[in-house]
């Protein structure tokens, strides 16, 4: 069944979009990531203009984060205060990111920026995850009973503007969370991702938050950052396609449930290795496209 | 015989439209195309007849060429080059008004029926129609190449059927990634390498219904559209979480 997308102005098979949403949903259910980093390149691949793909992904992320955060609220694993601090940074970051996006769009370099961001971030994160999960598997095989976890106090935590984050059990400066928020907000606006895959490691390793509140808090703030990004893209670029978002959503929520079931049957370390491999595969594909001479040197449009 | 030759010469010399011995009468299966939610391209049937007030002239057979041109648009074309080891856009050029869609169909090979001079005069083939003044410039050639690759510029020779030198018909497929606007359709009657009559009409392509509504909203009431997009996302996220909670119970 073909559907004509009113904003993207292309006709796409509705089942292809449902399937894409579904696949990404399965992965996000399995690995606990938003999946924005996968859906945006996949949309490029089916012929959605990059600007529409980026803006519409942001809209879709709002829906999947709302769905996810509700479950975390019930389990009381959201640090609202930390969420708001991150959010303050996130909104500033989104606004800056949209400015950068529009500037580069006018210069014709938006594809390059998006692709470079993907290659760099997917590369770093995929690589770190792969190493970490291989180590975890080796440890598990070696001797049971890991080392006791110690709360690390980094120099960044001693900056001024100290705040108490009760749910996270932290008393640290508000500057690092704001900085993390700005970074993730910028990336979200440029890459069309929620930034969960950067936010989660940053919260654990940089802010020292306990793992159990990390995902809920990250989802909570992503709703607003992605929402703000959607609004700005809709307002300044007119590139949010609600038809497209809707189809991806339906596939996404069904896929997420299936993915959660699959995820429960697999070992956590194995899951992380597969996610790392997937992230690296996307990264390599995009990287090669930049390095290999293109078949056609010219391109039309924005 | 002499009078006939004179008549032919006369027709050749005359400006198009005046003193025609053979006239084209044509119709389209539809003059309006609506882009609905399930729009997937459209096929238009173009048919017509040659009206004469004297017997069919002898000699060279009659030929028909039909062109359809989409709305014109100013386009930015960019060139990639290698910088710091990676391929990036290095040069942008704004190219004047070119049709977003252009198709030429004919009864026979264009090389046999359309001399270059006639082609230039009537701007029939893509080469003569699309920025002929910029011929040879890499950006113009790239634009034509890219549009041809997307099947937006096409030349289909021999697909117009002409029977009894009088009735002709063809069908033209408009692609699914179509641009809204007026599609100018021209029909040319040719004999001896000259256009003896032409006919022009416009096909209107427009988004309708929810497509029109959403598009207008996105551009004219961008803030409301954005809020609506968020509301849909929020509601859907909440709905999904509730639905699966109930399902799991």
Contact A4 B75 (CB under 8 A): no
Residue listed under structure tokens 């040659």: B50
Residue A175 CA to residue B6 CA, distance in Å, equals 92
When pLDDT is cut at 50, 70 and 90, the band that residue A265 belongs to is: confident
The ipTM of this complex is: 0.78
Using a CB-CB distance cutoff of 8 angstroms, which residues of chain B are in contact with residue A219? Answer: none
Say if residue B83 is exposed, middle or buried (CB neighbours under 10 Å; 0-12, 13-18, 19+). Answer: exposed
Using a CB-CB distance cutoff of 8 angstroms, which residues of chain A are in contact with residue B36? Answer: 4
B75: alpha, beta or left? (left if phi > 0; alpha if psi -120 to 50): beta
The greatest distance separating any two alpha carbons of chain B, rounded to the nearest whole angstrom, comes to: 96
- State the nearest Cα–Cα gap between B87 and chain A, in angstroms: 6
Chain B, window 29-68: residues with a beta carbon less than 8 angstroms from a chain A beta carbon: 35-41
pLDDT at B102: 93
Whether B3 contacts chain A with CB within 8 A: no
Q: Which residues make Cβ contacts (< 8 Å) with residue A168, sequence separation at least 6?
A: A79, A82, A207, A209, A210, A213, A217
Residue A28 CA to residue B7 CA, distance in Å, equals 77
Question: Is pLDDT at A159 greater than 80 in this prediction?
Answer: no
Beta-bridged to residue B43, according to DSSP, are B173
Which pLDDT tens digits describe chain B residue by residue (249 residues)? Answer: 444 444 444 444 444 444 457 888 888 888 888 888 878 888 889 999 988 887 777 777 889 999 999 898 888 888 888 888 888 888 888 888 889 899 999 998 888 888 888 888 899 888 888 888 888 888 888 899 988 988 889 999 989 998 888 899 999 888 887 888 899 999 999 888 888 898 999 888 888 888 888 888 888 888 999 999 999 988 988 888 788 778 776
Using a CB-CB distance cutoff of 8 angstroms, which residues of chain B are in contact with residue A68? Answer: 237, 241
Contact A63 B210 (CB under 8 A): no
**Sign (positive/negative) of CA torsion A247, A249, A252, A256?**
negative
Say what the alpha-carbon torsion angle B97, B102, B106, B110 is, to the nearest 10 degrees: 60
What ranges do the domains of chain A cover?
A: 2-141+151-291
Residue B48 CA to residue B200 CA, distance in Å, equals 12
Residue of A nearest to B147 (CA): A300
Mutation pick from B236, B238, B246, B249 vs chain A, by most beta carbons of A within 10 Å, is B236
Residue B171 CA to residue B68 CA, distance in Å, equals 11
Report pTM: 0.75
Residue of A nearest to B149 (CA): A296
Chain A, window 72-131: residues with a beta carbon less than 8 angstroms from a chain B beta carbon: 107-109, 111-112
Residue of A nearest to B245 (CA): A71
- Segment holding A163, helix H or strand E: strand A162-165
The H-assigned helical ranges of chain A are 14-31, 36-45, 50-74, 80-107, 110-142, 175-191, 196-201, 211-236, 242-265, 268-291
Whether B162 contacts chain A with CB within 8 A: no
Chain A, window 214-273: residues with a beta carbon less than 8 angstroms from a chain B beta carbon: 227, 230-236, 238, 240, 242-243, 245-246, 249, 253, 257
Return phi, psi of residue A240, to 5°.
Answer: -90, 125
Beta-bridged to residue B169, according to DSSP, are B47, B161
Is A84 strand, coil or helix?
Answer: helix
Compare B190 and A34 and report the one with higher pLDDT: B190
Fold of B2-207: Immunoglobulin-like (2.60.40)
Residue B115 CA to residue A275 CA, distance in Å, equals 63
What ranges do the domains of chain B cover?
A: 2-207, 208-249
By percentage, how much of chain A surpasses pLDDT 90? Answer: 4
pLDDT at B16: 45
Compare A291 and B248 and report the one with higher pLDDT: A291
pLDDT at B188: 92
Contact A10 B176 (CB under 8 A): yes
Residue A237 CA to residue B53 CA, distance in Å, equals 58
Question: Is pLDDT at A35 greater than 80 in this prediction?
Answer: no
């Amino acid at each position: 069944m073909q559907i004509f997308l009113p904003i993207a102005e292309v006709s796409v098979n509705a089942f292809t979009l449902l399937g894409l949403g579904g696949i990404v949903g399965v992965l996000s259910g399995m690995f606990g990531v938003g999946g924005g980093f996968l859906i945006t390149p996949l949309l490029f691949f089916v012929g959605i203009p990059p600007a529409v793909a980026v803006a519409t992904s942001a809209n879709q992320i709002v829906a999947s984060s709302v769905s996810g955060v509700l479950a975390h609220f019930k389990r009381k694993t959201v640090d609202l205060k930390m969420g708001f601090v991150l959010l303050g940074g996130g909104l500033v970051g989104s606004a800056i990111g949209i400015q950068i996006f529009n500037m580069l769009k006018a210069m014709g370099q938006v594809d390059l920026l998006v692709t470079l961001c993907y290659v760099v971030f997917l590369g770093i994160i995929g690589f770190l995850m792969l190493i970490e999960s291989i180590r975890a598997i080796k440890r598990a095989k070696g001797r049971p009973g890991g080392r006791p976890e110690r709360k690390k106090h980094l120099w960044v935590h001693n900056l001024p503007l100290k705040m108490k984050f009760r749910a996270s059990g932290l008393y640290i400066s508000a500057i690092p969370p704001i900085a993390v928020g700005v970074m993730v907000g910028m990336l979200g606006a440029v890459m069309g991702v929620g930034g969960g895959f950067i936010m989660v490691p940053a919260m654990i390793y940089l802010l020292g938050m306990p793992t159990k509140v990390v995902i809920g808090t990250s989802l909570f703030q992503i709703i607003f950052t992605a929402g703000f990004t959607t609004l700005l893209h809709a307002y300044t670029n007119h590139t949010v396609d609600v038809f497209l978002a809707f189809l991806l959503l339906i596939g996404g929520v069904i896929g997420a449930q299936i993915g959660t079931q699959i995820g429960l049957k697999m070992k956590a370390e194995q899951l992380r290795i597969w996610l790392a491999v997937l992230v690296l595969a996307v990264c390599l594909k995009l990287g090669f496209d930049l390095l290999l001479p293109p078949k056609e040197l010219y391109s039309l449009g924005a | 015989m002499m009078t006939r030759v004179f008549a032919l010469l006369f027709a050749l010399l005359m400006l198009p439209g005046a003193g025609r011995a053979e006239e084209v009468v044509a119709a389209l299966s539809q003059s309006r195309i609506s882009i609905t939610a399930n729009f997937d391209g459209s096929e238009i049937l173009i048919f017509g007849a040659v009206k004469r007030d004297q017997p069919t002239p002898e000699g060279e057979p009659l030929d028909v060429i039909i062109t359809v041109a989409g709305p014109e648009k100013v386009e930015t074309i960019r060139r990639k080059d290698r910088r710091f080891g990676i391929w990036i856009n290095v040069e942008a050029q704004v190219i004047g008004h070119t049709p977003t869609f252009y198709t030429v169909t004919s009864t026979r090979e264009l090389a046999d029926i359309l001399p270059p001079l006639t082609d230039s005069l009537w701007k029939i083939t893509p080469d003569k129609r699309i920025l002929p003044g910029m011929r040879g410039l890499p950006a113009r050639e790239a634009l034509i190449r890219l549009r041809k690759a997307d099947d937006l510029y096409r030349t289909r020779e021999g697909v117009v059927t002409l029977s009894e030198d009088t009735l002709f018909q063809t069908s033209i497929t408009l692609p699914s990634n179509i641009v809204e606007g007026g599609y100018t359709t021209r029909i040319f009657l040719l004999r001896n390498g000259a256009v003896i009559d032409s006919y022009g009409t416009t096909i209107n392509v427009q988004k309708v219904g929810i497509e029109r509504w959403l598009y207008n909203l996105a551009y004219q009431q961008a803030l409301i559209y954005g809020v609506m997009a968020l509301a849909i996302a929020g509601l859907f996220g909440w709905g999904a979480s509730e639905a699966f909670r109930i399902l799991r119970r």
